Amino acid sequence: MHEIDKPRNREQGRHMVKSSSSQILLGIGIGLGIWTCWSCAPSAIPHSAVSQSSSTRTNSSGYETLARISARDLYPLQLLAGKGYRIRDEIEPVGLTYIFTIDSPFGEFTAHGEDMLRIRIRELRALAVLQHKSAPAAFGSELAKTAIRPVTFLWRLLTHPADTMAEISHGLRRTTDRIQEMAVGERSSFEDSQTQELLGFSRIKRHLAAQLGVDVYSSNPILQQELDRLAWAAYAGGLGVKLLAVPLSGPVGLALMSTTLSADIHTLLVERTPEDLQRLNRAALQRIGIADDLIQRFLSHPWYSPRHKTIIVQALANLVDVRRRSALLQVALLAQREEDALFVQHVAEMLVSYHTSVVPLEELLLLKNWILVGHTTDQALVALVPLARLLWTAKVEEAALAMVAARDAAPHRIRRVELWLTGRLSDRARSQLETLGFMVYEGVLTRMMSHEKIQDDTLAFLMPAR
């Protein structure tokens, strides 16, 4: 089994925060909401043969836990197996989600939750396509052109010396900037070595990953090996960045949804080095007014890859005129595994979509030091939960009561409390929240974005039958 969910090294493990993974999920999820869109139509939610009473268990305190069920009770058969993978029927309930085991020709993989399941399956589909691709097959006729590249460069130098030397000078300045950023920070385990970056290998690898629709900073070791193989072949052959001759679409499936940020962020992630991104992210956070100490702690956090950090920072930059944006980063520091970082990224994506498309946010509030909520301009206190399911647990109750207390303490500023969930509430959770005065909405993803803008397989994996 590929142990891709453990700390990358012992040093990182020692510096992880001590809060539990379930607390980070609930702390960010229940508290960080900011959606006030309509719930999806009943026809958009598939029905399951498994009743809620058989998919959850209630203890003597009245709190719920997930019961053991089968993967086929969650997903249609066409999602359980495909080219390069098969999801095992036995799944392990943990907290509010399940641990999935995936069999493939490349080994056995685990995925903690539906988000990581979707990502791993996309990676395995890409690996299945690339498995038998040699460098000539992957890059087509481009290999034949590499021999004339030195001659082409010399001809340009002779015929357009000023332009050619200007390009070289610009490239050297960019390299100097990157070396300076490398000198003050250490690359994370998500990134290639500094030597590979300076050689130009990593840029080729980023483009290859983008063409395959996978994350170049993925923690999947088999995917990294395959990307390295093809990138080194392209680098050694002098190909630079060329399209792969493989039947895969572009860079979709890496985000929870397509937003107005997506194209710009994709360009940044492909064209810029981790040092470039670090410098740009730092400058953006400083312009927002985030304290330097918080900036450094976030940018050096071991569980946020350059992709996670860039999406989160760009989202914060687009929350124009929203006060206390630093609250998102304070909660983000609680992350202690890759799944938590991905969760925060999805929250940031939703923040931007809500603020720009639904109701403007006035400020972010942090309740009890872990419950992040959005205060809207129409005087609502809203919680966003980007989870496939939400049960009635002690943490959910604590968060709900904190929001109610905040409403009651400032009735002139907060008129109502709302919960918006991308997946489904258990019957008990819905009943308890409504009793507390919550307006609750489920399956909001389909109403937040049009279907053509929602990434492939997102609805299927993030809105399972139970």
Under 8 Å between Cβ of 428 and 391: yes
pLDDT (tens digit per residue) in 149-167:
444 544 554 566 555 545 5
The residue that leads in pLDDT, 140 or 19, is 140
pLDDT at 16: 36
The residue that leads in pLDDT, 23 or 185, is 185
Q: Which of 302, 293, 288, 305 is nearest to 342 (CA)?
A: 305
- Quickly state the pLDDT bin for 321 (edges 50, 70, 90): very high
Dist CA 426 CA 55 (whole Å): 9
pLDDT at 101: 97
pLDDT (tens digit per residue) in 235-259:
776 555 554 544 444 444 445 555 5
Dist CA 382 CA 460 (whole Å): 25
Is the pLDDT at 44 greater than 60? The verdict is no
Mean pLDDT taken over the chain: 76
pLDDT at 213: 87
pLDDT at 143: 40
Is the pLDDT at 393 greater than 80? The verdict is yes
The residue that leads in pLDDT, 460 or 43, is 460
Among the ranges given (91-95, 194-198, 347-351), the one the predictor scored with the smallest mean pLDDT: 194-198
Is the pLDDT at 457 greater than 80? The verdict is no
- Quickly state the pLDDT bin for 325 (edges 50, 70, 90): very high
Q: Which of 211, 209, 234, 210 is nearest to 223 (CA)?
A: 209
pLDDT (tens digit per residue) in 395-445:
999 999 999 999 999 999 999 999 988 889 999 999 999 999 999 989 887
